[in-house]
Chain A
Amino acid sequence: MARLTEENIRLAREIISRYPKPRSATIPLLHLAQEQDGFVTNEAMEHIGQLVGATSAEVYGTASFYEMFKFEPVGKYLINICGTMSCALMGSEELMHHAESRLGIHMGGTTADGLITLERAECQAACTEAPCLQVNYRYRFRVTAENFDTLVDQLQSGALEGEIPAHGTVAAVRQHIPADKGVGAVAPEDVTEGPAWLDGKAAL
């Protein structure tokens, strides 16, 4: 737990190479760190700073702005229940109360076994399927108290191991640009003319 592993350093360099400026890779690399350790450690932020050319304070400054980055351990499964308008109109408050009593924790808390962290979230772009929630950013729609209990049972029994990766991994698929196919990052300092396909004629 700490700095990025060899494999993740390789991935980090690949990600950095796609951007004209390395600092643009900060957020993707923070995700990589969170994927590795389940949360973002100080050592990882220092390491990311070295990789993108920023101080660890700058990396923390960026990281702390964004809701998804955690700086201390959370449960293996993070359940985010949406509480914005459409979900509220369809009973998300009641669902949150139910979730709290079923898990015996308050919003923001983690179960004693470290399995589940419960959070109140904002609109998840699934408003027509209210009330909804995400488990490690995988959706469940039109959730009733019963559905919620089933979900918790499944998480506890390990039935969703295959479907839902542990907290930290968001997308399980990565982009990969093959070396012979990619153009490479187009940095401002490397270009002074319009692109070749315009044939010197600027678009309008």
Chain B
Amino acid sequence: MTSNPGGTWPHAPGFYVGDRPKIVTSRFEYEDSYTLQRFEATDGYKGLRAALAKPAAEVHEEVRNATVLGRGGAGFPAGNKWGLTPQGVWPRYLVVNGDESEPGTYKDRLLMERDPHQLIEGCLIACYAAGLSQCFLYIRGEMALAQERVATALNEAYAAGYVGKNILGSKFSVDIVLHWGAGAYVVGEETALIESLEGNRGMPRLKPPYFPAAIGLYGQPTIVNNVETLANLPWLARNGAAAYTAVGTATSPGTRMVAVSGHVKRPGVYEIINGTTTFRDLIYGEEFCQGIRNGNELKAFVPGGGSAPWFTEDQLDVAFEGPQAGAAGSMLGSGAVMVMDSTTDIPRAALTLTRFYAHESCGKCTPCREGGTWLERILSRVVDGKGTDADLDQLLEVGQSICPGEFPHASNEKLGITAVPFPYRMNTICFVGPSAYAPVHSALTLFRSEFESRVTKRTLIPVTAVAQ
């Protein structure tokens, strides 16, 4: 049957509880964590009750004061985002982004499977506070169990009066509609998510003017939030902003879920303290991944999902703090760390990511559609030992057509290079194009010799005049 070596049941595979504050994973230790019964027995829907006891504006203010950073990738504070809707335009919608598919990312699925009521409660608090009239909970198509658990939880919550008309006897009424996708990475981008929810091909829209908070679903103001972001709200509503900001740092309060995969001894999903936990803690700490497998050395790691430029041991002391990671040349993205040990074939590893983004291009912009394919083809050739030294320069040239100017990368003492900070400039509508280039650029910048040893020198055919 389902093997579960990542943790002893009842923990979800790969999830490790720890002796740290638990804001979103507090129920994961229960085998029946997804049931209404367990939820109600463990403070469930108390945050909703606390919120309903106050005016909506006060709840919104509390979320703003807590600086709940978006956990979907961009890290924009939720309370501020909710305030960006144009005045007097109604109705407004909430779209929950449960499309989790950024390479390396594994947390939203756990939150949906293991604690669906917590997410539902978070959606309700957001709708109440920001005056959102209907909620669409978009779950990635391939996540059968998450869809089943959320559907069951919604059915339970409707029956118990937590969702729907006059919630808990109040004036607050909102439907939460379960929606599910059908497999397309780019749909995770918020404007593509909205296109998909309108029944179209999931292609991103141009921003401006299509900022969802202004012109979103059916042209109405729409808040798009990530699953984990919303899962923070019940705890926050129960305990208040002061308790929330007491965990982590002032600019990165609370906790965040991080999945560490690849060549570590104990790959897993951990709820870590935001702002202070470093990559060294995470990769080497006893309570986390316990070091590199087989006694090998660390070669490189991707710090924030497949789109993020790579770090090496020189960046181990960077903390989970957005600006710190940005200054070091990358980003924290979606809380996904992929670790490569000394045995890793770097060009091949980069190819697995570049191929991903090339395949997932929606085709709307030329630099991404063409550039991604080119990057994949050239890199494949190099990996197969059929490339030439000219291919390496061409990889960088193609990259320039997607992202002109200097591309962010980490510093490296051995190579004597200093960091180029995040972000980059781009010629594309969304980040898929640049993401196809990021792994190529990082790998070539930090491990060029591995590419050079693989390619043959291009023999220049001398041009001789046919006749004098």
Contacts and interface: CB of A to CB of B under 8 A. Distances in A.
B338 A89 contact: yes
B199 A24 contact: yes
Given A89-B263, A138-B145, A125 B175 contact: no
B19 to A, nearest CB: 20
Interface in B136-195: 140-145, 147-148, 151-152, 154-155, 158-159, 161, 163-165, 170-175, 177-185
A23 B90 contact: no
Interface string A120-153: 0011111111100010111111100001000000
Interface in B69-119: 82-83, 87-88, 90-91, 93, 100-106, 108-109
B130 interface: yes
User: Range of interface residues on chain B?
Assistant: 35 or more
Q: Which of B148, B183, B263 has the most CB of A within 10 A?
A: B183
30 contacts: A23-B199, A27-B181, A65-B184, A65-B201, A66-B141, A66-B182, A66-B184, A85-B262, A85-B352, A86-B261, A122-B103, A122-B185, A123-B101, A125-B140, A127-B105, A128-B13, A128-B14, A128-B259, A130-B267, A137-B142, A140-B2, A170-B142, A183-B173, A186-B133, A188-B220, A195-B90, A196-B171, A197-B56, A203-B56, A204-B64
Given A28-B180, A197-B56, A20 B134 contact: yes
Contacts of B462: none
A192 interface: yes
B6 to A, nearest CB: 6
B209 interface: no
A22 B385 CA distance: 52
A16 B64 CA distance: 35
Contact of A195 (B83, B133, B159, B181): B133
A197 B172 contact: yes
Interface string A172-187: 1111111011111111
A137 B144 contact: yes
Given A83-B352, A197-B171, 18 more contacts: A24-B179, A65-B184, A68-B142, A84-B356, A88-B348, A88-B352, A127-B261, A141-B6, A178-B164, A180-B165, A181-B159, A183-B174, A184-B175, A185-B134, A186-B93, A195-B172, A197-B170, A199-B55
B452 interface: no
A128 B105 CA distance: 9
Contacts of B24: none
Given A125-B105, A127-B103, A186-B91, A89 B349 contact: yes
Interface of A: 18-21, 23-28, 30-31, 52, 54, 61-63, 65-69, 80, 83-86, 88-90, 122-130, 134, 136-142, 147, 170-178, 180-188, 191-199, 201-204
A127 B336 contact: yes
A66 B87 contact: no
A30 B182 contact: yes
Contacts, number: 274
Nearest to A86: B261
B369 interface: no
B141 A140 contact: no
Nearest to B15: A128
Interface string B352-383: 11001001101000000000000000000000
